[in-house]
């Protein structure tokens, strides 16, 4: 093998190795931060004061309660207290709960503590928001971070005002 071919092959191997290192570093930068303990928001609470994850039947009962007709529409957040975007959403949901007090029920389910709830709602990623009208029908769903303005626009389309 002549020198030119050897140097070309060596260069290609070097470029490939550098590319692999760059990809691994990019993946590390995109991965979530290590989970840190965090207390759930005081104002966003589960729909029932029942321990989560005890059984699928219990979770199914809560899911059914969420879809029963009620005096107030519901905004259900499915997330985790250890998820970075879910923590951002908790702040927004606290504000929404105060602003729409007596006009909207805001619920939070930690799908890491109760994965069956995420399965029942068909959640693919968190945070996820599910809007349910007073008849118990789901009217809108969003997965990922959702700003307060976007939430208020959905509520307005449902006829809910502060």
- Given this model, what pLDDT does residue 58 score? 77
Q: How many domains does the chain have?
A: 2
In 3D, which of 118, 139, 134, 122 has the Cα closest to residue 68?
134
Which CATH number goes with the domain that contains 148? 3.40.30.10
What is the Cα–Cα distance from 78 to 47, expressed in whole angstroms? Answer: 12
Q: Residue 57's pLDDT is what?
A: 76
The predicted pLDDT at position 7 comes to: 63
Quote the pLDDT of residue 44. 41
CB 59 within 8 A of CB 50: no
> What pLDDT is attached to residue 16?
55
Q: What is the DSSP letter of 135?
A: T
Tokens (6 digits) for 74: 């519901």
Statement to judge: residues 131 and 91 lie in one domain? yes
Residue 94 included in any domain:
yes
- Per the structure, the complete domain to which residue 18 belongs is given by 1-31
- Give pLDDT tens digits for 139-161: 999 999 999 999 999 999 999 99
- Domain assignment of residue 44, yes or no: no
Q: Which two tokens stand for residue 83?
A: 């998820």
Q: Tell me, yes or no, whether 109 and 142 share the same domain.
A: yes
Both 75 and 111 in one domain: the answer is yes
Q: Is residue 76 a contact partner of residue 130, using CB atoms and an 8 Å limit?
A: yes
Please list the ranges in the chain whose pLDDT falls under 50: 29-53
If you search the block for the tokens 């519901």, which residue do you land on?
Answer: 74
Q: What's the pLDDT at 38?
A: 39
**What's residue 34's pLDDT?**
41
């Amino acid at each position: 093998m002549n020198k030119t071919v050897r140097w070309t092959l060596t260069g290609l191997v070097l470029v490939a190795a550098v590319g692999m290192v760059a990809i691994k570093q990019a993946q590390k930068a995109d991965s979530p931060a290590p989970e840190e303990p965090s207390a759930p928001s005081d104002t966003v609470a589960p729909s029932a004061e029942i321990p989560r994850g005890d059984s699928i039947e219990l979770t199914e009962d809560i899911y059914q309660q969420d879809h029963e007709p009620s005096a107030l529409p519901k905004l259900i957040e499915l997330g985790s207290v250890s998820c970075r975007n879910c923590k951002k959403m908790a702040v927004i949901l606290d504000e929404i709960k105060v602003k729409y007090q007596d006009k909207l029920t805001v619920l939070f389910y930690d799908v890491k503590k109760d994965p069956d709830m995420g399965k029942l709602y068909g959640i693919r990623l968190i945070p996820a928001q599910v809007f349910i009208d007073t008849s118990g029908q789901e009217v809108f769903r969003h997965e990922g971070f959702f700003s307060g303005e976007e939430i208020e626009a959905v509520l307005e389309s449902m006829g809910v005002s502060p």
